[in-house]
């Protein structure tokens, strides 16, 4: 399958009052054309920093390095600012958690929907409006023509997120990054928006990186999954393989956190131990999950694990010395 995005050894450093924080610590990931990759992990593990790095939207003071950051054959890191803006405008788009952060309260929705496609693709205002109405309709926004003259505050949160989804599709992007797009919505609206994103992704053949902390969401929409912990991908696999055979103790812990009425205490597996604490440069040694892991050995404190490939399935990789040892024994 053709890859639309390939990232190797991505690192993001942020200066803080206590030193430089390594928010992303050597991420490798790829996205195939037209697929839904879910990145899942708990708060602070670096999901948003990763997506901002991919979009070229990191704060100026952040330092980014990577061995490769290829988008459809283009090296994103060597593009000029103008070229990067063009890629971001025409071929990649982003859906944020809170729709109001992407909408300007003082412009009509029509202006905001049409601005990008007029600027980047040179469409006439009339044609741009036609496309906006079509996409609003596809995104389930009632009375789409009327909406073009409305302002963001005139819509409910769920409708605003539908407008943002239509906006993300305006320039027919190859890749959409959706950063927790349903977290700010009511549960029933969340389910509708999830279904909508999945439907449109399949209908338009757009690749999507969907960022979430919720494995229940992943189970409903993902083709492939990358599990992040403390700035690294600790396991990646097809959704089917990950749920059928989670290998990393952290993935297993996350799966055990999905509550089953009467059976599980929510969070029982990972509870009582502080969550992920990102490290300053130079502080890190061994496996980041070691202090929460039920199978760690003294070796895990000393050795920094690499991603190892499961022998029977090249697409299933895990960053755990204990698991990779079992791979070697099985060969």
Q: Which residues bind ligand ATP (CB under 6 A)?
A: 14, 16, 21, 23, 41, 43-49, 59, 213, 278
Write down the least CB distance from residue 123 to ligand ATP, Å. 34
Write down the least CB distance from residue 116 to ligand ATP, Å. 25
Closer CB to ligand ATP, residue 44 or residue 157? 44
Write down the least CB distance from residue 235 to ligand ATP, Å. 16
Closer CB to ligand ATP, residue 59 or residue 122? 59
Write down the least CB distance from residue 26 to ligand ATP, Å. 14
Closer CB to ligand ATP, residue 1 or residue 17? 17
Closer CB to ligand ATP, residue 113 or residue 194? 194
Task: From residue 53, give the alpha-carbon distance in Å to each of 31, 58, 59.
Answer: 15, 6, 9
Write down the least CB distance from residue 49 to ligand ATP, Å. 3
Write down the least CB distance from residue 110 to ligand ATP, Å. 31
Closer CB to ligand ATP, residue 45 or residue 308? 45
Closer CB to ligand ATP, residue 71 or residue 229? 229
Q: At what angle do helices 157-169 and 187-204 cross, to 10 degrees?
A: 10
């Amino acid at each position: 399958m053709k890859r639309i995005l390939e990232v190797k050894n991505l690192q993001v450093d942020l200066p803080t009052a206590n030193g430089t924080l390594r928010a992303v610590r050597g991420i490798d990931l790829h996205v195939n054309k037209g697929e839904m990759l879910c990145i899942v992990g708990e708060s602070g593990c670096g999901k948003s920093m990763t997506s901002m790095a991919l979009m070229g939207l990191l704060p100026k003071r952040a330092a980014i390095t990577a061995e490769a950051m290829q988008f459809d054959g283009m090296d994103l890191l060597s593009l000029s600012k103008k070229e990067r803006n063009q890629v971001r405008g025409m071929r990649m788009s982003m859906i944020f958690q809170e729709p109001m952060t992407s909408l300007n309260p003082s412009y009509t929705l029509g202006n905001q929907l049409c601005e990008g496609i007029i600027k980047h693709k040179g469409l006439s205002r009339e044609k741009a409006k036609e496309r906006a109405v079509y996409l609003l309709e596809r995104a389930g926004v009632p009375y789409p023509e009327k909406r073009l003259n409305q302002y963001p505050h005139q819509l409910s949160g769920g409708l605003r997120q539908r407008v943002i989804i239509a906006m993300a599709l305006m320039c027919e992007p190859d890749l959409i990054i959706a950063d927790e797009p349903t977290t700010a919505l009511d549960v029933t609206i969340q389910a509708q928006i999830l279904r909508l994103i999945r439907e449109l992704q399949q209908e338009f053949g757009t690749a999507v990186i969907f960022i979430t902390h919720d494995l229940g969401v992943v189970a409903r929409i993902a083709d492939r999954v990358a599990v992040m912990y403390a700035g690294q991908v600790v396991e990646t696999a097809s959704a089917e393989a990950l749920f059928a055979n989670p290998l990393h103790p952290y993935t297993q812990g996350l799966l055990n956190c999905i509550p089953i009425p009467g059976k599980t205490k929510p969070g029982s597996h990972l509870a009582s131990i502080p969550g992920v604490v990102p490290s300053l440069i130079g502080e890190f040694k061994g496996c980041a999950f070691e202090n929460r892991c039920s199978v760690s050995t003294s070796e895990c404190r000393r050795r920094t694990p690499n991603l190892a490939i499961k022998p029977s399935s090249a697409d299933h990789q895990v960053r755990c010395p204990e698991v990779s040892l079992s791979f070697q024994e099985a060969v």
